[in-house]
Amino acid sequence: MSRVLQMVEESSYLTIAKVAAITLVAIPVGLSIQRYFWRRDLRQKVWQRQTECQVAFKKLNDDLNSLNFDQEKLQAICDLPTSELKEGLQSGKYSALEVLAAYQTKAQNVTKRLNCVTEPILEAEADAKSLDEDTEKEGLLHGIPVSLKENYQLKGYDCTMGLVNLIGKLWEDDAVLIKVLKRQGAIPFVRTNIPQIMMTYECSNPIYGRTDNPFDASRTPGGSTGGEAALIAAGGSLIGFGSDIGGSIRVPSHFCGCYGLKTTLGRFSRKGTTSLSQGQTLVSGTIGPMARDLDGLVLATKAILCDYMYELDRSIPPLSFRDEIFQSKRPLKIGYYVNDGYLQSVPACQRAVMMAKTALEAQGHTVISFDPPDVPWMWTELYMKTVAGDGCRTFLEALQKDIPDDCVHMLLFSSKVPRWLIWCLKAIIGISTQDPVQTQSMTSLKGCRSVYEWWQQAKAVEAYKDKFLKKWSDLGLDGVICPVLACVAVPHGSVSSLLGAGTYSMLYNVLNYPAGSLPLTKVTSEDVQQLENYPDRRFFEKNIKKASEGSIGLPVNVQCVSLPFQEELVLRVMKEIETGLKSMGDH
Ligand SMILES: CCCCCC/C=C\CCCCCCCC(=O)NCCO
């Protein structure tokens, strides 16, 4: 009897063991199969999208060939500065259609080299033809082709932000800014590349691939408005539009040597632009123009600040472009710095700021030293903790069922490390990076734990804004000039190991001050030689120094900042610097 019981017992153990073994094998196998089919579907979506883009480029090419324009004339059109092109279009010397053909041809050639355009906007030709029938030519941007970052909603197109899952989700209406551009006679003609989820200074995603820097293909054009910057700098567009929550207009402009303006939140309508950060309203992303020359940047800003925008978006204060501020001859008092108290900028960036200082002084302005307060703390406790306020949940959810690009891997990894583990590893990370601020930034990626903590966060941001403004006001400043970033364009794939270099830009997102990016000079061999004296104790410093090797010839921009809603003053400072340099024979 006991033998029988023993056998029954043994066989039930055997059954349990078998079921357990089968389950242990079946679950991972099942999951792998599911994962295989899921990834196959995603890859198929990417392939379909890429094919659609190739077809669109092919159609554009056929259309251009059938128009049969003189190629030399088209190239000459692309060489014109904004003011001359505008005049030529207004006077009828050039038709909107030939100018469009010129830029379509150029953009196609540029993107073959740099991969900066995601797709052409095929409706552009019809837009140009109808503009050519218009005898009034009233729009401020009459006949000027403009390029758009991929996150601007355009009727009949999707905004993927580099996420495969968003392919094919077509928008039914244009963004407000696009409607305004069209009303002003501009012709949206291409869409430009971005990094996946748009939260880094690189420019690659699994759908459209990687964009290269026009000055050095081994380097990134910056991000997230990297495709725009590369296209504009390489001559494939005159005016474009981007967005910026931590430098995304200013940094790519600096990496590629074009002009950019991050506006104050509320100056331009953002309705119809896509971003994953829209629920986060403490440090908000804003939008703004980018251009090949300063006239283009000013013209684009003027064109957007028109009655039609205020009609379309009643939440925007009707504050048209104030020419009296832009044209004013009043002497200015400007603050400057080359070291923000966290990471020293490289010699080339320092030299650019000093050049701007000299130019402003030559124009009769006063330039004094200014130290922005508590930048390391601002970076970890205000910027990082706010933009990652939900513990990166929104970003992670978007990436979870997608194909993560290399450019987000490091941030993805850092944001997944549990809070307790960061605390346990703090000492080790601190020793390896030699930088407690950097360690703290990892904790900040965990965001706020409660609504209470979020309210405290809001209070802290407001208190910092007050402190900064008091310092600014006590000195009676009109503006500030400083580096855009601690370094110049860096090699592909290196951004996550030098993210701290971005404090120079992120500060003005926390403050919500308008800020311009002005190309001033190129890295010289002396700049590179002087890197010998650049500190290299901390992790970020080491990486900045390494990334700056071989940087001779890369563009260097200067950041020009003013108080909220003073975009005209930012543009004026940029103009004063350019004029000053020209008068000194330096530009
Ligand atoms: C899983 C990814 C987590 C990302 C968390 C990001 C937190 C901090 C990184 C800051 C990087 C700032 C880059 C800013 C880019 C920008 O301005 N984008 C504009 C979007 O419209």
Q: Counting atoms of ligand 1 from 1, which one is nearest the CA of 287?
A: 21
Q: Does the Cβ of 411 fall within 6 Å of ligand 1? A: yes
> Would you state the pLDDT for residue 156?
97
pLDDT in tens, 73-109: 999 999 999 999 999 999 999 999 999 999 999 999 9
Is 248 one of the catalytic residues?
Answer: yes
> Would you state the pLDDT for residue 506?
98
> Would you state the pLDDT for residue 253?
98
Q: Does the Cβ of 194 fall within 6 Å of ligand 1? A: no
ipTM: 0.96
Q: Which residues 6+ apart lie within 8 Å of 507 measured at CB?
A: 340, 372, 375, 378, 379, 383
Report d(CA 314, CA 207) in Å as an integer: 36
Position 110 pLDDT exceeds 90: yes
Question: Which residue did the predictor score with more confidence, 36 or 446?
Answer: 446
Q: How confident is the model at residue 469 (pLDDT cuts 50, 70, 90)?
A: very high
Q: How confident is the model at residue 7 (pLDDT cuts 50, 70, 90)?
A: low
Report d(CA 350, CA 534) in Å as an integer: 12
> Would you state the pLDDT for residue 430?
81
Q: Active site residue: 45, 86, 149, 182, which one?
A: 149
Is 204 one of the catalytic residues?
Answer: no
pLDDT-above-90 percentage for the chain: 86
CA distances to 410, 443, 530 from 414, in Å: 6, 9, 33
> Would you state the pLDDT for residue 339?
98
> Would you state the pLDDT for residue 414?
87
What is the average pLDDT across 566-587? 94
Position 24 pLDDT exceeds 90: no
Q: How far is the CA of 388 from the centre of ligand 1 (A)?
A: 8
Question: Which residue did the predictor score with more confidence, 6 or 263?
Answer: 263
> Would you state the pLDDT for residue 8?
62
> Would you state the pLDDT for residue 10?
73
What is the average pLDDT across 197-221? 98
Q: How far is the CA of 415 from the centre of ligand 1 (A)?
A: 12
> Would you state the pLDDT for residue 415?
87
Position 1 pLDDT exceeds 60: no
> Would you state the pLDDT for residue 12?
77
What is the average pLDDT across 269-288? 97
Q: How confident is the model at residue 585 (pLDDT cuts 50, 70, 90)?
A: confident
Rounded to 5°, angle at Cα 268 from 263 and 270: 105
Position 209 pLDDT exceeds 60: yes
Asked if 500 and 438 touch (Cβ cutoff 8 Å), the reply is yes
- For residue 343, the number of C-alpha atoms closer than 13 Å in the C-beta half-sphere is 31
Q: Does the Cβ of 247 fall within 6 Å of ligand 1? A: yes
What is the average pLDDT across 201-229? 98
Q: How far is the CA of 247 from the centre of ligand 1 (A)?
A: 9
Q: Does the Cβ of 395 fall within 6 Å of ligand 1? A: yes
Whether the bond into 224 is cis, omega within 30 of 0: yes
Nearest CA to ligand 1 atom 14: 246
Does the annotation place 275 within a ligand binding site?
Answer: no
Asked if 205 and 49 touch (Cβ cutoff 8 Å), the reply is no
Q: Which of 152, 243, 244, 245 to mutate to test the pocket of ligand 1 (most atoms within 8 A of CB)?
A: 245
Helix and strand element counts for the chain (H, E): 23, 13
Q: Does the Cβ of 289 fall within 6 Å of ligand 1? A: no
Is 147 one of the catalytic residues?
Answer: no
pTM of the model: 0.94
Position 166 pLDDT exceeds 70: yes
Number of Cβ within 10 Å of residue 328's Cβ equals: 13
Average pLDDT, the chain: 95
> Would you state the pLDDT for residue 172?
97
